Amino acid sequence: MPRIIRALIVDDSAFARKVVREILSTSPFIEVVGAARDGEEALQLAEELQPDIIVCDLVMPRMNGVEFVRRQLAIRPLPILIVSAAEENAVQVIEALNAGAIDVVQKPSALATDELRAIREELIEKLKAAVGAPLENLNRSIPAVVATLAAASRNQVDVIVLGISTGGPQALRRLVPQLPADLRVPMAIVLHMPVGYTALYAEKLNELCAVEVKEAAEGDLLVPGRVLLAPAGRHLVLRRTATGGVVAQLCMQPLDKLHRPSVDVLFRSAAEVFKSRVLAVVMTGMGDDGKEGAAWVKAQGGTVLTEAERSCVIYGMPRSVVEAGLSDSAVPLEEMAGAILTNL
């Protein structure tokens, strides 16, 4: 029988604390052991109650959620799941993730009971997945740029496509800054993140990188040294133009995918456009988005790398690819930049 997960709720709204408690209490495997009104009280309760996970708002008096994440992880690292309103708190959400929060669930802007309860399934699923995550992979310092491995390059890849989810914001902050400015191929990334955060995340990541990082816009040209991040809420598809270039196309279809953007959709389009000259990378995250796409890449003769289990926050997406026999190599996060460059 699965062990009971002990959760602490942190929110300055008494109504939000009540509804989140009710939501979590619907799971027989979650026990809400306490609730705090701000970061200062949360630090005290976390010390007293020793929870397995903390569900935390961001905008609070005395000590906000970002400062709480920093302070708590410095005292006793444990998974912190952010529950925050949409775009109005985008800066704080990105700061909290960069500080080591494990994931974010988007709180409805109108705090109606029914709307808050609508996030029940996502909240419980992410909470259960986050417990036991290797927290040392969430807030490590950013490594130096990896030297271009020109001598080792096989010149068999024309594009890098990457799919990532839970733990992704932190992993990308360690991976992408290692890529050199003279990266000879373009890169496209699907990161599962709520609507309203990807543009700011790309902007902040770009500040750390030698390559150019931007949220993909309709018609963006794929060029060497550019990294395009799929905008939350729309699929990123690669299309070859009449003049021979390859551009980003943003679309709502297909509608039957669990995630939008979908890793499967990006990978399939890359395989259709670039055939065997695709390097696909599947990294930390829940579920199996990327498995179907990896099959399309392999069917065209492309290469698939997966993140090794030991460095994943959630070993779900990479596991699905490995167990389907589609991974050419499993690589830990700290070696992934080098493996990508070697496979070019």
Looking at the chain, list the stretches that DSSP marks H as alpha helix, in order from N- to C-terminal side.
Answer: 14-25, 39-49, 65-75, 90-99, 113-117, 120-130, 168-175, 198-206, 263-274, 291-299, 317-323, 333-342
Active-site residue, 289 included:
yes
Catalytic residue among 11, 12, 192, 311: 192
Active-site residue, 192 included:
yes
CA 129 to CA 151: how far, in whole Å?
41
Which structure tokens are listed for 242? 């009449």
Catalytic residue among 289, 320, 327, 328: 289
**Three-class secondary structure of residue 47 per DSSP:** helix
CA dist 91 → 202, 332, 335, 344 (Å): 12, 29, 30, 35
* DSSP codes joined into one string, 183-219: -SS-EEEEE---TTSHHHHHHHHHTT-SSEEEE--TT
Amino acid at 184: R
Catalytic residue among 165, 262, 269, 320: 165
249-266: string of b/e by CB count within 10 Å (b at 16+)? bbeeeeeeeebbbbbbbb
**What are the catalytic residues?**
165, 192, 289
